[in-house]
Homo-oligomer: A and B are copies of this chain.
Amino acid sequence: MQNIEFSDIEITGGHWKKRQEINSSSTLACIYERFKETHRFDALKCEWKEGDPNKPHIFWDSDIAKWIEGASYILNSKYDEEIVKIIEDAVDCIIKNSDENGYYNSYFLAADRRNRFKYRGYHELYCAGHLIEAAVAYYEITGKDRFLKAMCKYADYIENVFKKEKSAAFITPGHPEIELALMKLYRATGEKRYADLAKYFIDEHGRHSEEIEYLEWANEKQNQDEMPIKDRKTAEGHCVRALYLMCGASDVAAEYRDDELKKACERVFDNIVNKRMYITGGVGSTNICEAFTIDYDLPNRTAYAETCAAISLAMFAGRMLKFGADSKYSDIIEKVIYNGAMSGVSLDGKSFFYENPLEIDPDFNNVNTSTKKKERFPITQRVEVFGCSCCPPNILRFVASIAGFLYSFDEETVYIHQYMDSKCKKDGINIVQKTEYPNDGKVTVKCDTDKKVIAFRIPGWCKSFSVNRDYTIKNGYAYIALNRNDEIEIEFDMPVRFIAANRRVHADSGRAAIMRGPVVYCAEGVDNGADIKSVLVDTNSHFDIQESEFFLPVLKTKAYRPMENESLYYEANDDYEEIPLTLIPFYAFANRKETEMQIWLLRKH
């Protein structure tokens, strides 16, 4: 199955048109300014010397690279001389300062020349991977190839050091990313050796844990060394590392038709989405090493659920679709893009969350006033830049290329995985999709192609739908015979739903999350007053669906809160006050002020 890339698709309306406009007009410039201010762009010059201020950081190259990648994607829809100039200047620095052998890393070239490829935990191959992704993106959008060539040379050097000479101090990277990047480089250049190198890294992961010295705080799981990928049944360790690695693994499995590796990818995916994922599509239950923990351990208030982890889960799911259309993958993409990823950016596109908890309780977040130590909780307001700023440019590239999740095709069939108002033109496939989804569930698709079948994902959340054609269902897709220039209307009923969590998820016990379509809702204190944890919702409630400033509707209903009582403890009674309850899309939380936030509301049983 072949994916249709975002560059062949134009988002023409609806939620994502708004999001992309903000991304281009606001997020792009905002991140650029912050990276300039924090000397990330300066670092590319490799001029830093001991004693200078603003020492470059080991992962700054990856921040810049993701920004270039996102900026390139944005250039696809609108050429911008200024942006090209910024990228060209950065590329100048990179090429000028690259070693003769192709090596480039602004941290090691300036601050630690002697220790190249010595520290597995120092993100060198991770940075290289992001630079490669950036070079591929810039080349594919603009046709300019000198950055790509420089990165090919760097990749050749990496092949030499790691695969041929084996002269590096480690075998596989502490932070995967190079694997999926090499697969992109292979597809951009046609050079099979890059795929082979990706396959080499994928195969070697987890085969050398006994040779490895770990940092004080990490162990083999953290570094994706607990076992060979082919043997895995669960997702372990640092979430983004695990998921970038699985992206590379699924790419390699598809390219080399490695069924054993593919099955491992399926097992790990299933483990995540069936046992270790928040309802938002967020993953990572603890800030300690930003890691997966164990099945059903999903605390809400201390959820880490890094923005990058949600994005990389969608990336992984998108790659799994190459093995065939199955809505279990495309449903998770949808879950992520409307919830756990987009909560990472403010509605104005200018500020960001690294962590995306499902519950915020600001009054109780800074409680230990009797000591200098504090309990740790996620921050409650988005900020413009982090020291570790992987998430903002990840959002940038993710939103700019979101259309890449829409379509794929094989010999006979065109697949519609996601619903966005858009136009697509690729290899004789013309698709015009008109929809306000997920504002409502109506989608009209006009498809002009010589393929014989079109397949629509029936979202997992959807209990009933109507379509103006006959269809058969397979793996969550409705398959419909297609005639040239057919216009198909499909409508997914989109009532408000109450969702329960498995009873093993102790943090959610007695509670329900409220969803409409793919969108998870939350209640904020600014709308609903204090102590939302004590508010009960009735699953038989009627909801008013009202337009809002949050790109998608808000939900209004009534709920019940225990009457105020002066006592700390009192005989349990049935004294509840009825209160109006306003729910907003989860991604829109914390856009007004610091306030309570709660996804999982008590159920009136």
Contacts and interface: CB of A to CB of B under 8 A. Distances in A.
A23 to B, nearest CB: 29
Contact of A573 (B375, B500, B501, B513): B500
Given A288-B371, A500-B573, A573-B500, A568 B277 contact: yes
Given A291-B371, A568-B273, A569-B499, A533 B506 contact: yes
Contacts of A562: 500, 503
A219 interface: yes
A574 B603 CA distance: 11
Interface in A491-516: 497-506, 509-513
A216 interface: yes
Contacts of A568: 273-275, 277, 296, 501-502, 505
Nearest to A215: B372
A373 interface: yes
Contact of A571 (B219, B500, B561): B500
Nearest to A236: B370
Contact of A603 (B564, B569, B572): B572
A534 interface: yes
Interface string A561-579: 1101111111111100000
Most buried by B among A285, A288, A370, A539: A370
A538 to B, nearest CB: 9
A497 B569 CA distance: 12
A568 B499 CA distance: 10
Contacts of A506: 361, 364, 531, 533-534
A217 B371 contact: yes
Nearest to A461: B571
A374 B289 CA distance: 10
Given A368-B288, A370-B291, A509 B534 contact: yes
A212 to B, nearest CB: 14
Interface in A516-575: 530-531, 533-534, 536, 539, 561-562, 564-574
Given A273-B568, A503-B531, A571-B500, A286 B368 contact: yes
Copies per complex of this chain? 2
A459 to B, nearest CB: 13
B534 A370 contact: no
A216 B217 CA distance: 23
A221 interface: yes
Nearest to A276: B568
A217 B534 contact: no
Among A288, A505, A509, A511, residue most surrounded by chain B Cβ atoms (within 10 Å) = A509
Contacts of A293: 367-370
B288 A375 contact: yes
Contacts of A373: 217, 288-289
A504 B561 CA distance: 11
Nearest to A237: B370
B533 A509 contact: yes
Q: Is the interface of A mostly helix, strand, loop or mixed?
A: loop
Interface in A272-305: 273-275, 277, 279, 285-286, 288-289, 291-294, 296-297
Interface residues of A, number: 74
A222 interface: yes
Nearest to A561: B503
Contacts of A187: none
A205 to B, nearest CB: 15
A218 interface: yes
Interface in A335-393: 361, 363-364, 367-375
A371 B294 contact: no
B510 A510 contact: yes
A534 B539 CA distance: 17
A536 to B, nearest CB: 6
A604 interface: yes
A238 interface: yes
A602 interface: yes
A114 interface: no
Contacts of A574: 605
A364 B238 CA distance: 18
Given A372-B217, A571-B499, A367 B285 contact: yes
A64 B512 CA distance: 53
Contacts of A218: 370-372
Contacts of A364: 294, 296-297, 506
Contacts of A369: 221, 236, 293-294
Interface of A: 216-219, 221-222, 236-238, 273-275, 277, 279, 285-286, 288-289, 291-294, 296-297, 361, 363-364, 367-375, 497-506, 509-513, 530-531, 533-534, 536, 539, 561-562, 564-574, 602-605
16 contacts: A217-B373, A218-B370, A236-B370, A274-B568, A285-B367, A293-B367, A293-B370, A294-B363, A296-B568, A297-B364, A500-B570, A500-B573, A502-B567, A506-B531, A512-B572, A603-B605
Given A297-B364, A500-B569, 16 more contacts: A217-B372, A286-B368, A288-B373, A293-B367, A293-B370, A294-B364, A294-B367, A294-B369, A297-B367, A498-B571, A499-B570, A499-B572, A502-B567, A503-B564, A510-B510, A536-B605
